[in-house]
Amino acid sequence: MTTDSTSANRLIEIGIALSAEKDTTVLMEKILLEAMDISQADGGTLYLRDEDFLKFEIVRTNSLEIAQGGTTGGEVTLPPMALKNAEGLPNTHNIVTYAANEGKTVNIPDVYLSDDFDFTGTKKFDEAFGFKGFRSTSFLTVPMKNNADEVIGVLQLLNRTDPETKEVGPFDGGIQPIIEALASQAAVALDNATLLKEMTELQQAFIQLLANALDAKSPYTGGHCQRVPELAQMLTEAANAETTGVFKDFNLSEEDRYELYVASWMHDCGKVVTPEYVVDKSTKLETITDRIHEIRVRFEVLKRDAEIDCLKAIIAGGDAAALQAALTERLAEIDADFYFIAETNVGGEFLDDDAKARVKAIAEQTWTRTLNNRVGISIEERKRFERTPAPDLPVVEQLLMDRDDHLIPYEVQPFSADPDNPYGFKVDVPEYKFNKGEVYNLSISRGTLTNEERFIINDHIVQTAVMLENLPLPKALRRVPEIACGHHEKIDGTGYPRKLTGDQMSVQARVMAIADVFEALTAADRPYKDRKTLSQSLRIMSFMAKDNHMDRDLYHLFLDSGVYRDYADKFLLEDQIDEVDIEEYRVA
């Protein structure tokens, strides 16, 4: 085999190796070391262009045992070289900046016999290491050009050395075109790797931008989209570290880690379409505003009417003392009824059947409306009112009502309403999008959300699935939708949106469910609930694991690995971190 064919085969092998490398640091090191090896150079430097400068990335000199940059961990301390002089013109005095500016290879057999460039720095370097018998002699400086013929860096080789005699000679013969070919090949590989890295960083930035925007959208979820990914990663790495037991065969590649990163940061992206006033609904009657203020006015009307009726009766000759006493009693009843309704509106305690009956009884009281409630309103609301004939005024109405115009239909049927939907959603869809009925809302048993509003909030996971599954995800991210959308599924198949069982979910998806629950329980930035301690949170999770709402094996790993404590040390407030005996929270 000829020398030319040997070199060609070597370049092909190097090219294949370079194209497979995604880490730019490793890639740059491979480029320089391969170039030094092919050319039999004692030293070499790789520079990358950074705007109007050449930055030292890797420096090697074998005979002096100098190795900086690359995978060594040692920083290159040399300052970058300016590509322009003080006047803003191309700097052609230095051999490296000349090669970069002109895009030409420079081959110097002996720097001490050359007057073409300023070698002051080189000669000072030789003086410093002269006691070791070192002398800079031959230089081969090659610009690295990408596919667009742009110089992205410079490859410089130093002192071609005979491996047997150790004599230093010029980079002569056919070595220059080989190094130029390698530099060109390397530039393309490096440019591609850099572009891939930049695109990945941009992708990550957009993902985090959306997650941060969702957290900023509502104080109820502040920080949630940032903390869940951390916890998911911690627990997944704990499973990866297991060498025995259930997770001994679970192994994570770098692609798997990035897939989890994307999925965990995007797990709530569907909340971008969830109405903020539903997510933030803090009382039962709240929509855009809290309708308790409107109802308060009706109670005020009742009180005024009672006073007017009393005064009319007195004027008509009635017993003033008896009428006044009856008025005082009636006003006290109205006040008591209002304060009961106001307290019920807050939704702090479970509303039992007796309380619901009282809400209904209060609602059946009447008042007189004399003004038309179908004027000065939006087109949408007017259309809802037009479903029923307008009553003649004045009209006697119930104090609290569930009217037909309170029922708001879907403009577009949700994906999950179709039993044959292409996404496999299995969700019970309410008949109406919203039900603003006053009695209906005040009769909510627990919390402040109606079934319709809870569906809308839960529907964020449906929207997440639709958004993610319609993205042109690369093969390495193909499981992102499954992982991201697993955080509301339950092991027993009663979760949503697909009612998956544990064996239908990946480990990462089951991890997401635990991460989402633990973050929500321990979050200290939810204005609608008090923060829970570690022991309180783990007790609740133990019940969920016992009821097969979360993966027991992962839950026990969560305890045994200490992930719960590591997360607490990083994110929980000091008063939340109490003493925990994990044996107390195991599930048989």
Distance of CA 181 to CAs 57, 387, 517, 554, Å?
21, 79, 56, 53
The confidence score (pLDDT) of residue 298 equals 97
- Rg (Cα) of the chain, in Å, rounded? 37
**419 assigned to some structural domain:** no
Q: What is the mean pLDDT of residues 295-317?
A: 96
The confidence score (pLDDT) of residue 98 equals 96
Same domain, 491 and 368: no
The confidence score (pLDDT) of residue 6 equals 61
* Phi, psi of 431, rounded to the nearest 5 degrees: -65, -35
Q: Which domain holds residue 501?
A: 218-268+460-585
* Closest residue by Cα to residue 384 from 412, 402, 408, 349: 408
Rounded-to-integer distance, Cα 140 and Cα 40, Å: 12
Same domain, 143 and 32: yes
Q: 332-369: string of b/e by CB count within 10 Å (b at 16+)?
A: eebeebbeebeebbebeeebeeebbeebeebbeeebee
Q: What is the mean pLDDT of residues 61-75?
A: 90
Q: pLDDT-derived band of residue 229, with 50, 70 and 90 as boundaries?
A: very high
Helical H segments across 418-490, by residue range: 438-442, 451-469, 480-484
Same domain, 389 and 502: no
User: Is the confidence at residue 527, as pLDDT, over 70?
Assistant: no
**277 assigned to some structural domain:** no
Q: pLDDT-derived band of residue 173, with 50, 70 and 90 as boundaries?
A: confident
Rounded-to-integer distance, Cα 571 and Cα 183, Å: 48
Check if the beta carbon of residue 272 is closer than 8 Å to that of residue 214: yes
User: Is the confidence at residue 1, as pLDDT, over 50?
Assistant: no
* Cβ-proximal residues to 130 (8 Å cutoff; 6+ apart), any chain: none
Rounded-to-integer distance, Cα 582 and Cα 559, Å: 6
User: Is the confidence at residue 196, as pLDDT, over 90?
Assistant: no
Check if the beta carbon of residue 360 is closer than 8 Å to that of residue 439: yes
Q: What is the CATH number of the domain that holds 531?
A: 1.10.3210.10
Highest mean predicted confidence (pLDDT) among 161-165, 193-197, 224-228, 345-349 = 161-165
Helical H segments across 471-533, by residue range: 480-484, 507-522
What does the DSSP 8-state code read for residue 475?
G
Rounded-to-integer distance, Cα 255 and Cα 237, Å: 14
Same domain, 187 and 251: no
Rounded-to-integer distance, Cα 223 and Cα 519, Å: 10
Check if the beta carbon of residue 346 is closer than 8 Å to that of residue 285: no
Between CA 415 and CA 421, with CA 420 as vertex, the angle to 5 degrees is 30
* Closest residue by Cα to residue 292 from 362, 330, 339: 339
The confidence score (pLDDT) of residue 5 equals 57
Name the one residue in this structure whose structure tokens are 């009382």: 283
Select from 196, 228, 257 the last residue of a domain.
196
The one-letter amino acid code at 494 reads T
**453 assigned to some structural domain:** no
**209 assigned to some structural domain:** no
Q: What is the CATH number of the domain that holds 32?
A: 3.30.450.40
Same domain, 465 and 388: no
Which tens digit of pLDDT belongs to each residue from 435-468?
Answer: 999 999 999 998 899 999 999 988 888 999 999 9
Alpha carbon dihedral 515, 519, 521, 526, in 10-degree steps, equals: -150
Rounded-to-integer distance, Cα 153 and Cα 187, Å: 8
* Closest residue by Cα to residue 484 from 442, 526, 451, 515: 515
Q: pLDDT-derived band of residue 2, with 50, 70 and 90 as boundaries?
A: very low
User: Is the confidence at residue 8, as pLDDT, over 70?
Assistant: no
Same domain, 245 and 329: no
Same domain, 260 and 389: no
Q: 389 or 19, which is more confident?
A: 389
Check if the beta carbon of residue 142 is closer than 8 Å to that of residue 99: yes
Rounded-to-integer distance, Cα 358 and Cα 294, Å: 20
The confidence score (pLDDT) of residue 24 equals 80
Q: What is the mean pLDDT of residues 83-105?
A: 94
Percent of the chain with pLDDT over 70: 95
* Closest residue by Cα to residue 542 from 507, 516, 518, 512: 518
Check if the beta carbon of residue 335 is closer than 8 Å to that of residue 306: no
The confidence score (pLDDT) of residue 303 equals 97
Same domain, 251 and 119: no
Report the residue count for the chain: 588
The confidence score (pLDDT) of residue 225 equals 82
The one-letter amino acid code at 405 reads D
The confidence score (pLDDT) of residue 167 equals 93
Same domain, 164 and 30: yes
Q: pLDDT-derived band of residue 20, with 50, 70 and 90 as boundaries?
A: low
Q: pLDDT-derived band of residue 67, with 50, 70 and 90 as boundaries?
A: very high
pTM: 0.75
User: Is the confidence at residue 346, as pLDDT, over 70?
Assistant: yes
Check if the beta carbon of residue 173 is closer than 8 Å to that of residue 211: no
* Phi, psi of 43, rounded to the nearest 5 degrees: -145, 170
**442 assigned to some structural domain:** no
User: Is the confidence at residue 568, as pLDDT, over 90?
Assistant: yes
What does the DSSP 8-state code read for residue 420?
T
Same domain, 170 and 232: no
Domain count, the chain: 3
Which tens digit of pLDDT belongs to each residue from 39-59?
Answer: 999 999 999 999 999 999 999
Rounded-to-integer distance, Cα 36 and Cα 44, Å: 7
**273 assigned to some structural domain:** no
Distance of CA 400 to CAs 258, 336, 397, Å?
54, 15, 8
Q: pLDDT-derived band of residue 219, with 50, 70 and 90 as boundaries?
A: low
**519 assigned to some structural domain:** yes
Q: pLDDT-derived band of residue 389, with 50, 70 and 90 as boundaries?
A: very high
Rounded-to-integer distance, Cα 163 and Cα 171, Å: 14
Same domain, 233 and 367: no
User: Is the confidence at residue 3, as pLDDT, over 60?
Assistant: no
Rounded-to-integer distance, Cα 114 and Cα 100, Å: 19
**176 assigned to some structural domain:** yes
Same domain, 185 and 86: yes
